[in-house]
Amino acid sequence: METIFEIEVTKIKGNKKVTVQDTVIREVKLEIIVNDKNVGSLMAVCVDLKELAVGYLMSEAIIENVKDISKIEIVDVDTKTFQVRIDAKVVEANIERLDLEGVIVSGCGRAVSTQISKIAIDAAVMQDDFSIDTTLLFEEMGKFYTQCPLYEQTGCVHTAKLYYDENTYFIGEDIAQHNTIDKAVGKARLAGVDVTKSFLMVSGRLSSEMVAKAVMHQIPILASRTASTCRGVNIADKFGLTLIGFVRGDKMNIYRNPQRINVK
């Protein structure tokens, strides 16, 4: 299925009206089937669907290790619906918790999550000695959008980038902000990369569910060009995450845990 397609639009500039071709993003419904049970549905851009499913399931602690997955496949149900079907060793209690305690997150779309609950976040406080230089973060954020083809083509998606080293990084693009993290982290997990030695950049606000996803994967640094919510800051504080907003040019605001950022 094509990810983008062209439509005819009427463009007005000043007192001129013209008809032109424009590109728009395609979104589909993704059903995540684990051991023949539907554990959730997401609205998503129809790329990197396997990675999205893996990232989502690990964010929710339903799958603890990528090695626990024995089979994964995509099923094309119809023109608007896909399924990712996975056979895996799972934490059944967390599937049940998702059914009972799931909340609607503040990202785009009607996504359900439990990982922002005080009880549900079952992650250790990060006490690593991982750090990066300010110059690296400024450089990578500066070229962030040039590495995101769907954003360049349509301007209609959120983006995330998980950086491990100059040759190893993972891009996630989607209409839903939280999906971008799941896609990027899903790619990294499937590639066997240690995400605890990486940092994560996102295009949108640092809301509670975005921060919680970084915590669940023990990614030590999360940065954005925009701001954090109060709850996002509180979660970062509680679990030792370095949370950074307004990374623009040679400036940034470090909300919590600045010790991982070396000024160079």
Indicate which CATH number applies to the domain containing 216: 3.40.140.10
CATH classification at residue 91: 3.10.20.10
Q: Is residue 119 part of a domain?
A: no
Q: Which residue, of 65, 84, 113, is where some domain finishes?
A: 113
Collapsing DSSP to helix, strand or coil, 91 comes out as coil
Q: Give the amino acid at 167.
A: N
End-to-end CA distance of the chain: 46
Q: Are residues 151 and 70 in the same domain?
A: no
Query: What is the structure's pLDDT at 182?
Result: 94
Q: Is residue 198 within 8 Å of 126, Cβ to Cβ?
A: no
The mean pLDDT values, 10 residues at a time, for the chain of 264 residues are 74 68 79 92 88 92 94 90 95 79 45 47 80 94 82 79 96 89 96 97 87 92 90 87 90 92 88
Query: What is the structure's pLDDT at 89?
Result: 96
pTM, entire model = 0.81
DSSP class of 206: B
Query: What is the structure's pLDDT at 264?
Result: 79
Choosing from 108, 148, 156, 230, the catalytic residue is 108
Strands 112-113 vs 16-25: parallel, antiparallel or unpaired: unpaired
Q: Is residue 118 part of a domain?
A: no
Q: Are residues 148 and 226 in the same domain?
A: yes
Q: Is residue 201 part of a domain?
A: yes
Domain extent for 49: 27-113
Query: What is the structure's pLDDT at 243?
Result: 92
Q: Which residue, of 79, 113, 147, is where some domain finishes?
A: 113
Q: Is residue 2 part of a domain?
A: no
Q: Are residues 241 and 201 in the same domain?
A: yes
Q: Are residues 156 and 247 in the same domain?
A: yes
Q: Are residues 99 and 140 in the same domain?
A: no
How far is residue 160's CA from residue 224's CA, in Å, rounded to a whole number?
9
* 108 is annotated as an active-site residue: yes
Q: Are residues 256 and 154 in the same domain?
A: yes
Q: Are residues 144 and 235 in the same domain?
A: yes
Q: Are residues 88 and 159 in the same domain?
A: no
Total domain count, the chain: 2
Q: Are residues 136 and 240 in the same domain?
A: yes
Q: Are residues 154 and 255 in the same domain?
A: yes
- How far, in whole angstroms, is CA 144 from its chain's centroid? 14
Query: What is the structure's pLDDT at 40?
Result: 84
Query: What is the structure's pLDDT at 100?
Result: 56
Q: What is the 3-state secondary structure (H, E, C) of 112-151?
A: EECCCCCCCCCCCCCCCCCCEEHHHHHHHHHCCHHHCHHH
How far is residue 91's CA from residue 61's CA, in Å, rounded to a whole number?
7
Query: What is the structure's pLDDT at 14?
Result: 61
Q: Is residue 15 part of a domain?
A: no
Query: What is the structure's pLDDT at 1?
Result: 66
Q: Is residue 8 part of a domain?
A: no
Q: Is residue 54 part of a domain?
A: yes
Q: Is residue 225 part of a domain?
A: yes
Instruction: Count Cβ atoms within 10 A of the Cβ of residue 141 and give its class: 0-12 exposed, 13-18 middle, 19 or more buried.
Output: buried
DSSP string covering 18-58, please?
A: EEEEEEEE-EEEEEEEETTEEEEEEEEESSSHHHHHHHHHH
How far is residue 102's CA from residue 114's CA, in Å, rounded to a whole number?
5
How far is residue 260's CA from residue 263's CA, in Å, rounded to a whole number?
10
Q: Are residues 175 and 97 in the same domain?
A: no
Q: Are residues 139 and 88 in the same domain?
A: no
